[in-house]
Amino acid sequence: MHKGRQIAAAAAVLVAVGSLGLAAPAASAAGRTAGTAATACPTGWGSLPEQGTAEVAPHSLTGIRTGRHDCYDRLVLDVGSGTGPLAYSVAYVDVFHQDPSGAVIPVSGGAILDIRVGATAYDPETGHTTYPGRPGKALPGVDLTGYRTFRDTKFGSSFEGVTQVGLGVRARLPFRVLTLPDRLVVDVAHSW
């Protein structure tokens, strides 16, 4: 009988320990591994100019926003739905010149991306403003506090169907450009 009680007590202890999370050390170890593992960042991006179609189809710039990711900072230019493919060019420049005047617009950072998108900051039919950017001023509503790569933004111009934005980044880092029917996305990596 005594052995029966010992076995029953041992079984009760095992059940109690199991309900308290006997597997918890394994889960904790897995959590530590996942938390400390390095994020696999994309490779293959470069720093050479990128451009889309040269044909400018009617689009209107409606907003510019940013986002932070593990491997890159992102700038999104919302252009609404246009009538054709989205024209764009993105390139590093030594100095940010406003189009068409050629005036220099200072942009802070170790490098400057000149971003041009085939969308006006106004409705081409009515002339009403669709994006409140002002030449030489920071982009309205864009706060870069806490970003690892982005340092500054400046509105260049909106002229002949093209809007120009200057993006100051920490250094000349790799970037990629993605297009969707209603937006242009520019991702700049945190490192090479």
- Of the CA atoms within 13 Å of residue 1, those in its CB half-sphere come to 0
Note if the pTM is more than 0.85: no
pLDDT at position 22 is: 32
Which class in CATH covers the domain with range 50-189? mainly beta
Convert the pLDDT of each residue in 57-94 to its tens digit. 778 999 999 999 999 999 999 998 777 788 999 999 99
Contact 14, 6 (CB under 8 A): no
Work out the burial of residue 42: count CB atoms within 10 Å of its CB; fewer than 13 is exposed, 13-18 middle, 19 or more buried: exposed
Convert the pLDDT of each residue in 20-33 to its tens digit. 333 333 333 333 33
Domain boundaries, the chain: 2-36, 50-189
